[in-house]
Amino acid sequence: MKNHSFGEKKISLLDSFIAHLRRRQLNSYLSSVSGLIDIGCGYNITFLKWAEKEFGIKNLSGVDLSINEELLNDKHYDLRIADLNSSLPWGDNSAEMITSLAVLEHLLNPDTNLKEIYRLLKLGGRLVLTTPAPRSKPLLEFLAFRLKLIDATEIRDHKQYFGKRDLRRVLQTAGFSVDKIMVKSFLFGFNNLAVCRK
């Protein structure tokens, strides 16, 4: 299991581009949001900075295994260090929106993480998450281990891949109602996007 956050080590150009494509999936969900918590925000909180710049979101929080100390001390953000496999450091019903981009596949306890996310969301609050689909595994491993175009440590750390049915099941187990879960694929079916309301 890795002990650092995404972006703490140098990121390849392809990793940056894939992260950009992931962020673009959230455009339609961020336009009317005043605050969000990003689970697995990464060392340099790239998504939070982007959400602030592109959508003017001001109430920005994030959590990960490690965060750049300069950013951690910036009072503009509410950033926390925590293990994403255990309880998350905010109170019940405290989040309007939670994002989790390419995080679930790294967790030993994805069920615990999703139950914690459900606990944090306000009634009517929204979770938007992305995770690689099972069909992406051979491609990601080829890009990481053979071509060395993406971070092999990140790919080696994947604990599991979630198909659309698996994703719906773990979201329901976490407490989300089946009629408030939408799952679709993107990037030619290599990634899944889930949007849920509490």
Ordered by where they begin, the domains of the chain are 13-197 (3.40.50.150)
Name the burial class of residue 143, with classes exposed (0-12), middle (13-18) and buried (19+) by CB atoms within 10 angstroms of its CB. Answer: buried
DSSP-assigned beta bridge partners for residue 188: none
Could you tell me the pLDDT band of residue 7, with boundaries at 50, 70 and 90?
confident
User: Has residue 166 got a pLDDT over 90?
Assistant: yes
In whole angstroms, give the CA distance from residue 86 to residue 115: 10
The predicted-structure confidence for 81-120, as pLDDT tens digits, reads as follows 999 999 999 999 999 999 999 999 999 999 999 999 999 9
Rg of the chain over Cα atoms, rounded to whole angstroms, equals 16
Compute the average pLDDT of residues 22-43. 94
**How many beta carbons lie within 10 A of that of residue 188, not counting itself?**
10
- pTM to 2 decimal places: 0.95
Name the burial class of residue 109, with classes exposed (0-12), middle (13-18) and buried (19+) by CB atoms within 10 angstroms of its CB. Answer: middle
In whole angstroms, give the CA distance from residue 116 to residue 83: 12
3 state SS of 47: helix
pLDDT at 82: 97
In whole angstroms, give the CA distance from residue 64 to residue 88: 10
